[in-house]
């Protein structure tokens, strides 16, 4: 996880423990973050990350999360995963 100015970059393959750390980090800072980038070199490990990103977006609609907006990720391990995020 890297925080550079207004943008936060996280890793896609976060474990549940890391997701919880991320949640704890972002909660008090959500108003100061404009953009969350997801480094897609890894593979999604928990659906909790999707849910957290969706929650962040619902909490602060102007927050930009390109990965969430993309609505899809593919990998050999899981095939294609789609999500629908109603904001």
Partner 1 sequence: MTKQEQVKAIFIEEAGEIIEKLDVDIIRFEEDAGNFDLLNEIFRGVHTLKGNANAFGFTRLGEFVHHFEDVLDHYRSTKEEIEVCHLELIVNSVDVIKEVMVCELDALPDLPNDYAGCLEGIKSLIASKKGSPSPSQSQESVAPFADLASEFGLECPDQYENDMTQSIEMMRASYQEGMHIYRIELSLDTDSYKRGFDHLIFIGLLAEKAFSCESFFSLESVPTLETFAADTNHVPKMGIVLLTTHSRTEIEENFEYLFDHEYAIKEIESAPEPVTIVKVEETALPKVSAVAKPSPGSDTSALSNGAKSTIRIDTFKLDELFDSVGELVIAQNFIAQNEKIRLIEDESISRTIETLSKITKRIQDRVMSLRMVAIRDTFDKMKRVVRDTSKKTGKELHLNVLGEETEIDKTMIDSLSDPLIHIIRNAIDHGLEANAQERLAAGKKVEGTITLRAYHKSGSIVISVSDDGRGINKEKVLQKAIERGVISGDENLSDSQIFGLIMQPGFSTADAISDLSGRGVGLDVVKTSIEKLRGKIEIESREGEGTTFSMVLPLTLAIIDGMLVQAAGEIYIIPTLSVVESFRPEQDIVHALKEKGEFVSLRGQHLPIIRLSDVFSLRAERIEPWEGILVCVETEAGRIAIMVDELVGRQQVVIKPLGKALAKLKEISGGAILGSGDIALILNVDELRPMIEAPHAGN
Of the pair 32, 58, the CB lying nearest partner 1 is at: 58
What minimum distance in Å lies between the beta carbon of 86 and partner 1?
Answer: 5
C-beta separation of 86 from 57 below 8 A: no
The reply on whether position 48 binds partner 1 by CB under 8 A is yes
CA dist 18 and 11 (Å) reads 10
The reply on whether position 1 binds partner 1 by CB under 8 A is no
Sheet with 35-39, side-by-side order of all strands: 2-4, 7-11, 35-39
The reply on whether position 3 binds partner 1 by CB under 8 A is no
Indicate left, alpha or beta for 60 from its phi (over 0: left) and psi (-120 to 50: alpha).
Answer: beta
CA dist 7 and 79 (Å) reads 29
Binding window for partner 1 (CB under 8 A); candidates: 1-9, 31-39, 50-58? 50-58
* Residue count, binding to partner 1 (CB under 8 A): 34
Q: Which residues contact partner 1 (rule: CB under 8 A)?
A: 16, 19-20, 22-23, 27, 30, 44-48, 50-52, 54-56, 58-59, 72, 74-86
């Amino acid at each position: 996880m890297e925080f550079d100015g207004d943008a936060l970059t996280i890793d896609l393959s976060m474990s549940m423990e890391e997701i919880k750390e991320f949640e704890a980090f972002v909660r008090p800072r959500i108003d100061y973050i404009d953009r969350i980038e997801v480094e897609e070199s890894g593979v999604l490990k928990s659906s909790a990350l999707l849910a957290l990103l969706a929650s962040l977006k619902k909490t602060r609609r102007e927050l930009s999360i390109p990965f969430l907006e993309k609505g899809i990720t593919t990998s050999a391990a899981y095939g294609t995963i789609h999500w629908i995020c109603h904001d």
